[in-house]
Structure 1
Amino acid sequence: MLVNGDAAPAGELVKDTTTQGFRQDVIAESMNQPVLVDFWAPWCGPCKQLTPVIEKAVRDARGKVKLVKMNIDEHPAIAGQLGIQSIPAVIAFQRGQPVDGFMGAQPESQIKAFIDRIAGPAGPSPVEEVLAAAAEAAEQGDAAGASQLYAEVLAAEPENLTAIAGLARLHLDAGDLEGAKGFLAMVPEAKANDKAQDKAIAAIRAAIELAEQAASLGDTAGLEARIAADPNDHEARFDLAIALNAGGRRGEAVDQLIAIIKADRAWNDQAARKQLLQFFEAWGPMDEQSVAGRRKLSTVLFS
């Protein structure tokens, strides 16, 4: 059962120490895994900037390293022995010895790189492992198993966008458009209109929009008859592309839109090109038809 996103409780990864506790908390503990010692003081502004960043980086490392904090106003001896003259200063200990360190507040990216250098990159988190298992179950057609795994993630992380998108996709694939829209509504308001926040959310939003468009079109026979009577009926060809996509005939949908672009690239404010891009977003960038469709679009636009 997934309890949270950390491999170990936060209290075991970050703690304060004293001069008396230093030998056990740092020297002895560094025999098991690297220990970062953060030397700080209450009056130090950069220390206050560093604290939340380094604590987050240590927790994200999921047990690869531990963080021990030492207030040098209350416990100056160790810092003096190590020759530390300015703070914040972070010293990494391995096998009882100081092996590396840095001074001053640092951005999260540099702290993570420091931890990776000391302890190696962290593996996938428990949440990431469950999400991967859910995606694999969905790909194999086990919708019930995938749904259960995504729900487990949401129980631990109610705003996990990948799990929300995964459940919405399962409902959409099952023909439950309203159910899919219901899960999409779970996206936090601050992220609801920001497609850059998560590609999976952007993809399912695009797929839902396409499904809603297709629902109003009916079958393809009437559209195909209109195109047979007038090959330049771009509106019918455009609607046919949407209907074909809804029926899983992605390659044919791409070809209909490419035909419009070849005939009249500017038609309806480049609607065919924009619709193709929405297809690619809904299918995902590595989908076989997305790759092939982008190639065809590039050939038309740049030949």
Structure 2
Amino acid sequence: MTSAAPHAGDERGAVDLSALAATAAGSPAQPGQSGQSWVVEVTDETFDQVAQQSLQYPVVLELYSPRDQQGPQVSRALADHTNANQGRWLLGRVNVDTSPRIAQAVQATAVPYVLVLLAGQAAPLFQGTRPAAEITAALDQVAQVALANGMSGRAPAQGGAPATTPDSPAEPVVDPKYAPAYDAMEQGDYAAALAEFDKLLTQTPNDTEAQSGRAQAALLARSLDVDTEKVMAAAEADPTDVEAQLAAADLEAIFGRYPEAFDRLIGLIGTLRGEDREPVRVRVLELFQTLPAGDPVVTRARRALSTALFT
């Protein structure tokens, strides 16, 4: 796994751990609605066992403190999207007040702090409070990176109710019409996934979920079995090579470095003229579809793309 993290963030709304009492009592498990859950509490004693599971599927760790008044909104967004994805990753919640050794091991200085474990390697996702849209985007990128690295295993349900607050919305039901496409993606058969999404789009061309799924499948298919070092070296060697820049941007997107991918392609558009711009513009629009429409990275890139196209 690359060391780059999907949407590594700043510390907005972070709570300084040094201000927390070391003897703070742990919060009880949050009640949830009936149904399965892919959320588990992690302690100093169970951490190694949970981390070992990252060899089969991603493990997202949420370090939190019951003393953090803004923390529940982050916890709710993490748990809701985790349970909605039904095992694409496991969410482990760590109360830093009662399990301080984990916080020390991952060098967390503030909560909430969220990181991902893939194949035993850790990469930070974000620190501090975040809007739900940013949180779900970061989690979706975790699943995308896992697939890109050939990790298609699913976490088993932990049983019981989802670890969310009582007023959490019910888990969204996955429409079975998308199942063949998503199953193909999990198996790494991106060509089959593309075919399934194309069938859906033939019937309903404005289906945004199918458009997004197709864009993700196409991105992964283009980057399957490529030599990352060679691709990036080729892009570095010739900034005017359109194909090299497109390939490099794909890899940056797969590994969650969307700002770099968009900057690369939109910068390239600024050096091109006429019809030469079209394949790059189309690729930028395809990458937009792999992220939520309200993602701030997309919003910024859309503005930059408009500026580049009209200059």
TM bin, normalised by shorter chain, reads 0.3 to 0.5
TM-score, normalised via structure 2 length: 0.41
**Higher relative helix content:** 1
The structure, 1 or 2, with the larger RCO (C-alpha pairs under 8 Å, 6+ apart) is: 2
TM-score, with normalisation over the residues of structure 1? 0.42
